[in-house]
Amino acid sequence: MAFKRLGYSSNDKTKLIVKAQRVLEKNYQGSHTVPSAGLYPHQVLWDSCFVAIGKSHYDPQRAKHEVISLLDAQWSNGMVPHIIFNSATRFWWDRQIWRRWINFSSPNHLATSGISQPPMLAEAIVRIGRVLPLAGRQEWYKSVFPRLLAYHLWLYRERDPRGEGLVLQLHPWETGLDTSPPCIAELHAKSWPGWLNILDIPLIDKIGEYIRVDNKFVAKGERASNAEAIALHLLRNRIRHRNYDSSKVLENAKFAIQDITYNSILIRANTLLEEIAVTINESIPTQLKRHTSKAARALESLWDKGTNSYYSRDFISNKLIKEPSIGGLLPLYSGAISKQRAAELVKDIEDKDSFALNYPIPSVPANSDWFSPVRYWQGPTWVNTNWLIIDGLKRYGFNELAKKLTTSTLQMVNQHGFYEYFDPYTGMPHGADNFSWTAALTIDLAYSHKTKL
Ligand code: GLC
């Protein structure tokens, strides 16, 4: 098997990889993999990118299919939607509610959402490319480059209207860290329907229970409140009423943020897009370079001297949203910050009052008022953010810390299973079981690092 080729001898590690592959097999739907069969029955953009990264190690062909099925749903304006809906009859309402046909760029043959998610596509494409021999890699890159480029062009054309080098997100769901403190704080401050405050709790709960499915699969109290869930759905409806046209939404936007995680991922993705272009003798158009050349400096403008941290920014007020979260560490993944800034972020990762808990790295530092060890993106440890940070740490030469974090992540998953998120104090698992990106990135971490379990 492939892990023998890579020289691993650890039995436990081998068993863990095999179990992880089984999870991905379970969630495989013929052309793509869903995040978790019960709670998330549709294909989701960044989830599938992580899946492709994991599969590239043992089944590059299927890893390619994962990416291709995302690109098949691309809108003609370049957007890659964050959800491609399951076509089974029972998901009729999920498909219907987005009414993507109101925007002429949406595809006819597939039902999709009308917003996007963190642009991990370039990373997935390159990870697959790197396991292929040069000719195969070039062929692969040629087959996807035009569509990947169109996606990056869409991102800057529609989402960087001031030409700053940072793109904006119109909904917390676009950030991938849906209920992270900066998102929820903005939702409460800017996009909170007044009538929600005058409804009584039982009525809110009734509406909430009706519109949401997550509470049927995970413990109540771990996810957004019912009122927040309603506000999130109403914000989606606002965007839908403006036909998913970013400029129309921005005319009177309630929620528009330059999310630090999203932008860090995009900056890295631009570097990888360039790598792909060079491999196949293509060039990056000047209109894209105009935006990307500003990105590193623009990212630095999200640094706050007072608190020594990076934050997301409210696009409308132009103010930093000073709510600490794991997003503040993600510039490490961008590769665009200075070594000095990277060292400051490392201090936070190693700070016991902040991010250095028993099972790092919590999605919110322990000393934040938002912190809860079990509430979704407000404290638990997630494998995908660990993976992004480990990757960034290695690029800045913090190899020991990257190794430590890899080992603790693998041990956490080995002890507690392939869950969606974990309590950073006890390692206890929460959210969906058999969660695809936890399995896929476990495979990648296990293959890429010669650490023992
Ligand atoms: C949750 C996460 C999002 C993920 C989705 C499917 O909504 O917040 O990032 O893509 O689940 O796993």
Q: Over pLDDT 90: what percentage of the chain?
A: 87
Cα separation, 376 vs 221, in Å, equals 9
Look at residue 398 and tell me if it is in a domain.
yes
Mean pLDDT, rounded, for 342-359: 98
Cα separation, 340 vs 356, in Å, equals 20
Say what the pLDDT of residue 209 is.
77
Say what the pLDDT of residue 367 is.
98
Mutate to test the pocket of ligand 1, among 24, 34, 94, 178 (most ligand atoms within 8 A of CB): 178
Look at residue 439 and tell me if it is in a domain.
yes
Q: Is residue 435 lining ligand 1, measured as CB closer than 6 Å?
A: no
The one-letter amino acid at 109: H
SS3 sequence, 156-209? HHHHCCCCCCCCCECCHHHHCCCCCHHHHHHHHHHCCCCHHHHCCHHHHHHHHH
Number of domains into which the chain is organized: 1
Look at residue 136 and tell me if it is in a domain.
yes
Say what the pLDDT of residue 198 is.
75
Say what the pLDDT of residue 6 is.
42
**Residue 15 predicted with pLDDT over 70:** yes
Cα separation, 266 vs 249, in Å, equals 22
Catalytic member of 66, 178, 222, 433: 178
**Residue 3 predicted with pLDDT over 50:** no
Confidence class for position 5, pLDDT limits 50, 70, 90: very low
Per-residue pLDDT tens digits for 433-452: 999 999 999 999 999 877 67
SS3 310: strand
Look at residue 68 and tell me if it is in a domain.
yes
Confidence class for position 7, pLDDT limits 50, 70, 90: very low
Pairing of the two strands 303-304 and 313-314? unpaired
Mean pLDDT, rounded, for 384-403: 98
Q: Is residue 114 lining ligand 1, measured as CB closer than 6 Å?
A: no
Look at residue 453 and tell me if it is in a domain.
no
**Residue 8 predicted with pLDDT over 50:** no
Per-residue pLDDT tens digits for 255-314: 999 999 999 999 999 999 999 999 999 999 999 999 999 999 999 999 999 999 999 999
Q: What is the CA radius of gyration of the chain?
A: 21
**Ligand 1 atom 4, closest CA:** 176
CATH number of 179's domain? 1.50.10.10
Of 97, 95, 260, 251, nearest to 169 by C-alpha is 260
Q: Is residue 420 lining ligand 1, measured as CB closer than 6 Å?
A: no
Q: Is residue 345 lining ligand 1, measured as CB closer than 6 Å?
A: no
**In terms of C-beta density within 10 A (0-12 exposed, 13-18 middle, 19 or more buried), how is residue 339 classed?**
exposed
One-character DSSP codes across 77-102: TSPPPSEE---SGGGHHHHHHH-GGG
Residue ranges of E strands in 250-401: 257-258, 303-304, 309-310, 313-314
Mutate to test the pocket of ligand 1, among 39, 44, 86, 261 (most ligand atoms within 8 A of CB): 44
SS3 222: coil
Look at residue 176 and tell me if it is in a domain.
yes
Per-residue pLDDT tens digits for 399-410: 999 999 999 999
**Ligand 1 atom 2, closest CA:** 176
**Residue 228 predicted with pLDDT over 60:** yes
Confidence class for position 10, pLDDT limits 50, 70, 90: low
Mean pLDDT, rounded, for 23-30: 97
Look at residue 57 and tell me if it is in a domain.
yes
Q: Using alpha carbons, list the distances in angstroms from residue 167 to 51, 182, 278, 294, 414.
A: 25, 16, 24, 11, 37
Cα separation, 152 vs 270, in Å, equals 8
Look at residue 116 and tell me if it is in a domain.
yes
Q: How far is the CA of 176 from the centre of ligand 1 (A)?
A: 6
Place of tokens 């978790």: 36
pTM over 0.85: yes
* Out of 19-33, 413-427, 436-450, least confident range: 436-450
420 classed as catalytic:
yes
Q: Which atom of ligand 1 is nearest to the CA of 384?
A: 9
Are the C-beta atoms of residues 106 and 72 closer than 8 Å to each other? Answer: no
Cα separation, 392 vs 400, in Å, equals 13
Domain that holds residue 201: 2-448
**Ligand 1 atom 12, closest CA:** 35
Say what the pLDDT of residue 85 is.
97
**Residue 27 predicted with pLDDT over 50:** yes
